[in-house]
Amino acid sequence: MKKLLFFFLLTTSLNIKAQGVFKSNSGEVSFFSEAPLENIEAHNKNVSSLINTTTKEVVFVIPVWNFKFDKSLMQEHFNEKYMESDKYPDATFKGKINEDIDFMKDGEYNVTATGTMTIHGVEKLVTHSGTLTIKNGTMSLKSEFSVALKDYNITIPKLVIQNIAEIIPVKLNVSYMPYKKE
pTM, entire model: 0.85
Homologous superfamily (CATH) for 21-178? Lipid/polyisoprenoid-binding, YceI-like (2.40.128.110)
Residue 155: what pLDDT?
85
Residue 62: what pLDDT?
98
Residue 18: what pLDDT?
46
pLDDT under 50 in the chain at which residues? 1-2, 4-9, 11-18
Residue 35: what pLDDT?
76
Residue 9: what pLDDT?
44
Residue 12: what pLDDT?
45
Per-domain residue ranges of the chain: 21-178
Strands (DSSP E) found in 13-166: 21-34, 39-52, 57-63, 68-69, 90-97, 107-119, 122-135, 138-148
> What would the pLDDT profile of 60-70 be if each residue is shown by its tens digit?
999 999 999 99
